[in-house]
Chain A
Amino acid sequence: MSIELGHFALVLAFALALVQMSVPIIGAQLRNETLMRVAEPAAITSFMLVALSFMALTSAYIQSDFSVLNVWENSHSAKPMLFKITGTWGNHEGSMLLWVLILVFFGALVAFFGRNLPLSLRANVLGVQGAISCAFIIFILATSNPFARLDPAPIEGRDLNPILQDIGLAIHPPLLYLGYVGFSIAFSFAIAALIEGRLDAAWARWVRPWTLAAWTFLTGGIAMGSYWAYYELGWGGFWFWDPVENASLLPWLGGTALLHSALVMEKRSALKIWTVLLAILTFSLSLLGTFLVRSGVLTSVHAFATDPARGVFILGILVLFIGGSLALFAWRAATLTSGGLFQPVSREGALVLNNLILTTATATVLIGTLYPLLVEAVTGDKISVGAPFFNLTFGPLILPLLAIVPFGPLLAWKRGDLWAVSQRLIWAFGGALAVALLALVLVDRTSVLAALGIGLGAWLVLGAMTDLVIKSGLGKVAPSVAFSRFKGLPRSVFGTALAHAGLGLTTIGIVAVTTLETERIVAMEPGEVVEIHGYNLRFDSFRPFTGPNYTEDQARFVLTRVTGRQLGEIVSSKRFYTARQMPTTEAGIRTLGVSQLYVSLGDQTPNGKIVVRIWWKPMVTLIWLGALVMMIGGTVSLLDRRLRIGAPMPRKKAALAQGGQA
């Protein structure tokens, strides 16, 4: 019964979303407070209903109720409990329900924390959120209902795709969706502003933390997805320029741009119209990502099912929201007042440059992602746009951006002094140069490119630290004063520094692993030893092992330094999932410092040996540690109390009005 109750709750949430998208917006048009106030309880109740619905589906997964079609298709009674739970969203229907759950969760948060927003803005924002929920819930009910039943019910399920039976599934999709859907709030604020024809002062202050939160989650989601692919797919690649990955990178680039332009808007009331446009574009890119991944246009581990009806439906949603919002923008943008003048050389100017480069980079990735699809649709030819295209286009755009990042936070608002900033950054520049030279001399004397890349990463990290040093006045005032000033710095300053430093760490990781990686492919039998990068790897044993829903052949390796120091065991295996009849490779990975040794098993040779691939991946973990530092930066910045705005009290208002006139 609980499964049917979950189904009913979802249908009810749809009915409520209909009310939420119409009544408050009508109310805002008529300036009717009562109608506007319907938005809040509707949003909060919607969230509770969808949560109930999601819990019902999860409990069907936990109990292996194969009378639910979705559970039968994607679960198995022998699956470990964690993967039963995560399997809830390890499929198309369940993941769309998670999408909607997060959407209404954000809606409820706006309703709950938005009490100090102007009533009409709040009503419009929640109305737009309601419209999005409506579209996606009806999409679920019409084309991908996770509550469809099977009668008679089969006794055993078909199991989940083995690649998805991993802890990564517990983290990657929820984080990614929190990111994707988080941008819907910025979108709703943008549409609300366009409907009202005015931008409240609170607008940017509201949009920025939501964008920041979404950006933080998206950063985590992308990094987690990348690490997952790295260890699960068995050959240690961390980014493939695969359309599905690009689909998540696009809103990230847009969101990064939005984050920076919202900053200008909040501080200086400038770039208003541009910020509104960016908010629309960023969420449109999120929708596009959802479309690309969910419609079955792309075949990958993410395309759980290919069903043309779904593709057409999401395309409809896409056209409606992107087309509708851009049309509204074209029609109403002129009513928004722009403001705030600034010199080209200033913090604002730097952020505009940042936005120009980021949006151009976004466009590049968008073209690279969509072009092959368009060609296939028009001519039927399959072409592949891969790493070479992106290295040639995205690379030259993003490298200069990285190089100028440290200047931004040091420039003053309104008008800045580039020469003075350069002088302040001289130490960071010297440090980065030293790092590059060290990398050239000590690590690899042949690769100038690697040295320059690592130097660039170091420049970002040192530049971010310089910002903190200068803002706390270290070296100018007494150390104790500097320390207390350091402690008193606004959290967002730390957030900026951490995010930029994290970017530097990721850059170092990417450059190091792409230029300095070494690889050995050898056929081995137990007892043999192979040497790689100063380590000895001895193939110890090869034996079968039975897991809960798979069998595997485990190869155990003993790792020692060339000097003889024992470093323990690495286990790498080839698994076979019986229910799906699918083999997977489980790589053996050992982290040594920030570098990793990656051992993956290949096929058996005719003479009974096993092909073993061993990679030495220098500083590879920095790629994801950098993303983690960026996430910490985002979180720290979110905790800045300056982002909290007080609500006007009636008494104060009167006093203020007088003060303003005086």
Chain B
Amino acid sequence: MLFWILAAFLTFVAAFAVLRPFAVRNGQADDAPAHDIEVYRDQLDEVERDAERGLIGPQEAEQARAEIGRRILKASEAADSQAGKRNASRRVTQLTAAIAVLAVPLVSWGLYVFTGSPNMPAQPFHARATEEPANAPIDELVARAEAHLAENPDDARGWQVLAPVYMRIGRFGDAQTALRNIMRISGDSAEMQSGLGEAIVGGAQGMVTAEAEEAFNAAIALDPKEPRARFFLGLALAQDGETEDAQAMWREMLADLPGESPWRVAARQALLSSGDTSVAGAETAPTGPSDEDVAAAAELSQADRQDMIEGMVASLDAKLQENPDDMDGWQRLIRSYIVLKRPEDAKAALERALAALGADAPESQELKAFADSLGIKSE
């Protein structure tokens, strides 16, 4: 509503700007030759000044004066001949005024209806990043986690939560950054190295590049049994045309991986598609996504989402233990526990906050009131 009022006000201002000259009577005649004469007078003054300063010689000055004088004379004649030529009729003026004033609202409102979206509210980033995390789409959660990590780049837990999400939504470059950060903070590990290799492969549209191979080899160096690294190193061989070596590698995986490992399935499928039928039927190889798989995948992403929120909350909790004066942080933590449906934890957090802030401090009162509004009471 406010928008329409302001829009109407602007339209009024614009229409008024057009109308004003019609409302104000200005009887003063305006003829061009008079302006010309003014300019020539300026030029005469200038010649005098230059002559005084010696910039031009007396002879040049005399010539210039004569030339300007002739121009003044000509302009005066023009001024005399022009006197008496005056205005068009009143009706033309009124008609033009009416059309012009009507055109302003008609054109602007008419056009805006086609191009504008008047009912769409603004959505500034800050406001959206601080609203309730529940039901937010996945990219919003990612953005929120990113904002948190931009401030606390050494939070390994945060990166650990983000890395698989990045992989899932296909932001392989960011996944690589996240995994590198984890290894920077909590040290090298076979799992992270092989994850990094997979992210590089993802970024290269499935090609196992030299850089990816390097990461997988690093993983193997740390843990010779790392299944993901072994699988992809086999794939690298296959992509190089060394099918037999690849098959040997996958067969070796099948031989020594525990029965429940998901990489068994991957290795078997790879063997099958590379032409080795000896493993067909040995175990039930999935032949494409079943309804269950789809449901499981959906479940998984839901779980991931929950995982992520919990990860964020845990890191916030840890941060508050180190820095308990953060009033906003406590509020966020309590609210998060409510969203996660963990009222006990919310209550515990409130207790800890009150203990840390001091029970009589004004912040504590405020926090109590806040918790109260969410249905949490302290003893």
Contacts and interface: CB of A to CB of B under 8 A. Distances in A.
B237 interface: no
B139 A11 contact: no
Interface in B36-55: 36-42, 46, 50, 53-55
Contacts of B134: none
A646 interface: yes
Contacts of B14: 12, 15-16, 45, 49
Interface in B47-84: 50, 53-56, 60, 63, 71-73, 75-76, 79-80
Given A15-B104, A42-B17, A4 B117 contact: yes
Select the residue from A2, A19, A117, A147 with max chain B CB neighbours within 10 A. Answer: A19
B103 A19 contact: yes
22 contacts: A4-B117, A7-B115, A8-B116, A11-B111, A15-B14, A16-B17, A22-B100, A23-B100, A31-B85, A32-B92, A37-B26, A67-B121, A116-B38, A118-B30, A151-B120, A155-B125, A200-B36, A269-B71, A414-B63, A471-B55, A647-B35, A652-B38
B96 A7 contact: no
Select the residue from B34, B60, B112, B123 with max chain A CB neighbours within 10 A. Answer: B123
A201 B36 contact: yes
B112 A7 contact: yes
A153 B38 CA distance: 60
A1 B4 CA distance: 10
A157 B258 CA distance: 44
B150 interface: yes
Given A33-B30, A42-B17, A156-B139, A4 B116 contact: yes
Interface string B95-106: 011001001111
A38 B111 contact: no
A480 interface: no
A270 B213 CA distance: 77
A78 B34 contact: no
Select the residue from B13, B37, B97, B100 with max chain A CB neighbours within 10 A. Answer: B100
A546 B153 CA distance: 9
Contacts, number: 235
B116 to A, nearest CB: 5
B155 to A, nearest CB: 13
A18 interface: yes
Contacts of B123: 65-67, 153
Interface string B107-149: 1100110011110111111101100000001011011001100
A141 interface: yes
B6 interface: yes
- At the interface, is chain B mostly helix, strand, loop or mixed? helix
A657 interface: yes
A19 B18 contact: yes
Interface of B: 2-3, 6-7, 10-11, 13-14, 17-18, 20-22, 26, 28, 30-32, 34-42, 46, 50, 53-56, 60, 63, 71-73, 75-76, 79-80, 85-88, 92-93, 96-97, 100, 103-108, 111-112, 115-118, 120-126, 128-129, 137, 139-140, 142-143, 146-147, 150, 153, 173-174, 177
A640 to B, nearest CB: 10
A149 B63 CA distance: 67
A354 interface: no
A653 B34 contact: yes
A608 interface: no
A14 B10 CA distance: 13
B345 to A, nearest CB: 27
Contacts of B120: 4, 67, 149, 151
A155 B144 CA distance: 9
A121 interface: yes
A141 B111 contact: yes
Nearest to A22: B100
Interface string A651-662: 011001100110
Given A155-B139, A660-B37, A201 B75 contact: yes
Contact of A19 (B71, B88, B104): B104
A151 B117 CA distance: 10
Contacts of B63: 414
Considering the complex of A and B, which 6 residue pairs feature the smallest CB-CB distances, nearest first?
Answer: A660-B76, A64-B125, A63-B124, A37-B21, A30-B88, A15-B107
B39 A205 contact: yes
Contacts of A488: 53
B117 A202 contact: no
B122 A145 contact: no
Nearest to B24: A37
B30 to A, nearest CB: 4
A11 B80 contact: no
Contacts of B13: 45
Contact of A15 (B34, B88, B108, B125): B108
Interface in A572-614: 578, 581
Nearest to B173: A581
A106 B191 CA distance: 63
Given A32-B92, A45-B17, A117 B41 contact: no
A86 interface: no
A488 B20 CA distance: 45
A573 to B, nearest CB: 17
A471 B112 CA distance: 60
A120 B150 CA distance: 61
A380 interface: no
A257 B121 CA distance: 51
B96 A23 contact: yes
Given A63-B125, A153-B128, A414-B63, 13 more contacts: A1-B2, A12-B11, A12-B14, A30-B88, A32-B87, A42-B18, A49-B10, A60-B122, A67-B121, A202-B39, A412-B60, A414-B60, A485-B54
Nearest to B6: A5
Contacts of A27: 96
B50 to A, nearest CB: 8
Contacts of A198: 32
A290 B77 CA distance: 45
Contacts of A660: 37, 72-73, 75-76
Select the residue from A35, A52, A578, A581 with max chain B CB neighbours within 10 A. Answer: A35
Interface in A105-152: 116-121, 141, 145, 147, 149, 151
Nearest to A154: B139
Contacts of A200: 32, 35-36, 39
A41 interface: yes
Interface in A614-662: 642, 645-648, 650, 652-653, 656-657, 660-661
A506 interface: no
Contact of A63 (B34, B86, B103, B122): B122
B185 to A, nearest CB: 13
A360 interface: no
A20 to B, nearest CB: 9
A121 B121 contact: no
B165 to A, nearest CB: 14
A656 B37 contact: yes
